[in-house]
Structure 1
Amino acid sequence: MAAMEGRTSEELTPRYYALCTIGGMLSAGTTHLATTPLDVLKVNMQVHPIKYYSISSCFTTLLREQGPSVLWKGWTGKFFGYGAQGGCRFGLYEYFKGVYSNVLVDQHRSLVFFLSSASAEVFANLALCPFEAVKVRVQAQPSFAKGMFDGFPKVYAAEGARGFYRGLVPLLGRNIPFSMVMFSTFEHSVDFLYRNVVKRKKEECSKAQQLGVTCLAGYTAGSVGSFVSNPADNIVASLYNKKADSLLLAIRKIGLANLFTRSLPIRMLLVGPSITLQWFFYDTIKVLGQLVVKLHLT
């Protein structure tokens, strides 16, 4: 299969999948940590759209009312939650891609990408959901908790274990389409860039050129995926902050048009660079990790 070209059977081992998982954890955790201030703005604009009607008004109002530290609220949930999600997302994607590529023929490459990313994302969201439940409350409710460590007991005391998975369905509705579009767009963008722009095989390019292709494809994948998943992202923020008690009520209160447009500019500003950096760090960690393994074996 074309997607598997250049891989040897030695690479597809538990060691390789472990390296992909570690790469996903580090890349996703660090990039989401770095974008915490933008995420704080996004969540508050989603939960309080009348008060925070623009990026600039949200930024200035939050600073005036809560001080500079507000921009880093929820950073622990971002780092640990999205680190866990990234480990499952990238590690299991590579695993499922190997499984599905052995079942489906070369003409079904897109289906392999879709199935692999969707399967991995289910597990990734089960890992992320409790952290997201606390993070959104911390960011949008100033008096709720200081962070993850005092937020978890408060959620459990108020709602039990169910409170951590209140937004699981819309979270899956946000992240599964995002992941499917993101991985598929990335894989096809990489193929397009090598064939039509670089006009050389990946193996014939330098590591710097390969990482450059990764960044271009990553930004394209993140931007397209953020648009597709924006409606569910708005619903998640609404449910976790009890602006609505059910999925249908959340959709009705937000409005169909607002599902796609509310906080979209800042989400694209947030997701595009974040996904680009994730792919850059992920590929860099894989390259360094494989180099260390080869040096160890020789």
Structure 2
Amino acid sequence: MAVSDKFQRASLIPSFVYSPPSLSSRGLIDVESPFLMSSASFSHSSVSSSARNEGIVKKDFVIPAPNEPTGKIKMFSPAYYAACTAGGIFSCGLTHMAVTPLDLVKCNMQIDPAKYKGITSGFGVLLKEQGARGFFRGWVPTLLGYSAQGACKFGFYEFFKKYYSDIAGPEYAAKYKTLIYLAGSASAEFIADVALCPFEAVKVRVQTQPGFARGISDGLPKFIKAEGPLGLYKGLVPLWGRQIPYTMMKFASFETIVESLYKYAIPTPKEQCSKSLQLGVSFAGGYVAGIFCAIVSHPADNLVSFLNNARGATVGDAVKNLGLWGLFTRGLPLRIVMIGTLTGAQWGIYDAFKVFVGLPTTGGAAPPAPAKA
């Protein structure tokens, strides 16, 4: 059979048998594009005259490479942002629900430090007064609220990161990438907190006032009856004060840490690393980022808990009651453990979902600036 020159120069695994996995799996090339179909398939013209005389017909075909996703999601398409939104729902909703016991003790330590003096004693008080079931009080508003927040946080972050990069242009996007991470995450969290705030208000009231309500179904109507519909957003500004710095630190530090790990700690380029190693990097980067997040956002977290628990309370009342030192330190060790684990797990779940649908993990080497003409 006659073979073209390009096939004579092919490697042991010829290009017409496998399409490049390193590009298609990263979403950089459409595996069904006309270019790949033409370069990775047999051509009728390459069939020898003897084969044609024998009536043998070769049909065009492509065999997906091993580990190559069978489906395809084009980068920065509506399907891409929908996948990131779904990943955010799973990563935030499930993780926050899982750490409900820690969150419950933290909130009560912030509200009533005389009764809940520490982590161990706090769990003991809850177990004695409410039993084991009391550890998960408020899990439904937690699940719903942080699922809504995660959807907006991750989905809009990916959108704004691309949007601001396009505005800046390739050269400045690479040069000022950290500023783009900060701006994109702040914009996304501004929207996400509007979705979270009503659920957070009910959650705190359910967790810190025994007997107020069992959960979201009876707690939400009771809260609205007592505070009015706008009362659900009484803590929005402190929530922005807590969550926007938290998310800016969460995304910008994560991107920087992951890039540094691939640059200095891992000798293999990211695209050549196994998916399990990449997900391990995502978890490690997320955990370290979570520690920074907890420290930056903790004073506002104390304010949110105080304002949602005390009817008619103001920020001045919170500062006077907690004190400046207490505002920065009360419940901080527990929150560092909780937020570090939470953030690491969120990035792990989020990137695992992206890998599952055929997308690359988040972070890595910075894009090179285009060469000047």
CA distance in 1, matches of 2:312, 2:252: 33
List per-residue Cα deviations over 1:222-246 (Å, max 9, x = no partner): 1110110000000000000117711
CA distance in 2, matches of 1:17, 1:290: 13
Structure 2 counterparts to residues 27-42 of structure 1, below 5 A: 27-42=91-106
Matched with 1:67 is 131
What letter corresponds to residue 159 of structure 2 in structure 1? Y
List per-residue Cα deviations over 1:12-48 (Å, max 9, x = no partner): 1010000000000011111111111111111110110
Whether the aligned pair in 1 keeps the contact of 2:27 and 2:358 (CA below 8 Å) is no
Tell me: higher relative CO, structure 1 or 2? Use CA pairs within 8 A at least 6 residues apart.
1
List per-residue Cα deviations over 1:168-189 (Å, max 9, x = no partner): 0100000000000110110000
1:7 is displaced (CA, Å) by: 6.0
Q: 1:88 aligns with which of 140, 152, 160?
A: 152
CA distance in 2, matches of 1:189, 1:89: 20
TM-score between both structures, scaled by the size of structure 2: 0.75
Matched with 2:275 is 207
RMSD of Structure 2 on Structure 1 (CA): 1.3
Unaligned ranges ≥5, structure 2: 1-25, 30-73, 360-373
Unaligned ranges ≥5, structure 1: 1-5, 292-298
Structure 2 counterparts to residues 9-20 of structure 1, below 5 A: 10-20=74-84
Which stretch shifts more, 152-161 or 243-252?
A: 243-252
Aligned length: 286
Q: 1:8 aligns with which of 9, 28, 35?
A: 28
Deviating beyond 2 angstroms after TM superposition, the runs of 4 or more aligned structure 1 residues are 6-10
1:212 is displaced (CA, Å) by: 0.9
Matched with 1:121 is 189
Whether the aligned pair in 2 keeps the contact of 1:125 and 1:172 (CA below 8 Å) is yes
Whether the aligned pair in 2 keeps the contact of 1:211 and 1:280 (CA below 8 Å) is yes
Bigger helix share: 1
Q: Which structure: larger Rg?
A: 2
Matched with 1:295 is none
What letter corresponds to residue 284 of structure 1 in structure 2? A
Q: 1:111 aligns with which of 171, 179, 182?
A: 179
Structure 2 counterparts to residues 164-203 of structure 1, below 5 A: 164-203=232-271
1:259 is displaced (CA, Å) by: 1.2
Matched with 1:101 is 165
Matched with 2:34 is none
1:107 is displaced (CA, Å) by: 1.5
What letter corresponds to residue 53 of structure 1 in structure 2? K
Whether the aligned pair in 2 keeps the contact of 1:46 and 1:238 (CA below 8 Å) is yes
